[in-house]
Amino acid sequence: MWDIRMNNYDNNNTARRYVGYVSQLGTTQLHLRNPIIIAWWSIAYPGFGHLLLSKYLRGMALFIWEMVINLNAHLNEAIIYTFIGDFEQAKAVLDTRWLMLYLPTYFFATWDSYRTAVDMNKITLLAQREKHRFNSFVLGAFEINYLDKRNPITALLWSFIMPGLGQLYIHRIVLAGFILIWMVVITYYSHFVEGLNYIFMGEIQKATEVFNKEWLLFLPSIYGFSMYDAYVNTVENNKLYIREQRYYLQETYQHPSFRVRKE
């Protein structure tokens, strides 16, 4: 028979583990992840791996740390010189005092995101096995949030238009706000919009001159992460919606004596 604990609709720690939690600020859930993919995103930009795991405080701290240390060490500038084969200039612009602070935390971010993904996969399997009911609707003074099915491609496209909008579409308010704020900062200091206008007018040389390449190099990472995060979490939220519906229908309508026949 269905466990009586399934009657608990609020995630108030009366059950041991839940697979999902719906709040005014977003939907948080446990689902299986590839630890290598999580670690790869931490390599691409420290903090991204933790943000994918919904470890927001740790992920945001590592993101800001990367921004501060990278700019002071002139790491992006050195990478640009490396791309054009000017290795001597790349070595000249690097500030080793800041660079030595960069490496330990960079390796920690990669290792910790991988380790956390492995641990959370174990917890996910246990939570799915325990099958405790979780809340699917919240109505508050500031927001309404609920589980429903949404289009992953739509989330991806909104993130392509502007990183953070895909997260807003699937109600990841905290992460959406964080990404949007940093997109404004990066876009402003990189002169991205100004350079893009010159490109549209066919003035490639002016665009090259106006771009701040050190800041511009942050954009591919944040664009790629935002699109990936929006798509994956839309898919997983849809699965969570189906899971919650199945739990409800089994508890409400399925006869207690019903058993699936094994062939």
How confident is the model over 115-166, as pLDDT tens digits? 999 999 999 999 888 888 888 888 888 889 988 999 999 999 999 999 999 9
State pLDDT tens for residues 177-189.
999 999 999 999 9
Helices (H), the chain: 35-44, 48-52, 56-73, 75-83, 87-93, 96-130, 152-161, 165-169, 173-190, 192-200, 204-210, 213-216, 219-252
Q: Tell me if 110 sits within 8 A of 39, measured CB to CB.
A: yes
How many C-beta atoms surround the C-beta of residue 188 within 10 A?
Answer: 13
Of the candidates 196, 17, 205, 42, the one whose C-alpha atom is nearest the C-alpha of residue 122 is: 17
Q: Note the Cα 163 to chain centre separation in Å.
A: 11
What is the per-residue pLDDT for 19? Answer: 87
State pLDDT tens for residues 220-247.
999 999 999 999 999 999 999 988 888 8
Residue 86 confidence class, pLDDT cut points 50, 70, 90 = confident
- Provide the angle, in degrees to the nearest 10, between the axes of the packed helices 96-130 and 56-73: 160
What is the per-residue pLDDT for 13? Answer: 59
What is the per-residue pLDDT for 77? Answer: 87
Which residue in this structure is represented by tokens 């190099």?
217
Q: What is the pTM of this model?
A: 0.87
State pLDDT tens for residues 60-77.
999 999 999 999 998 888
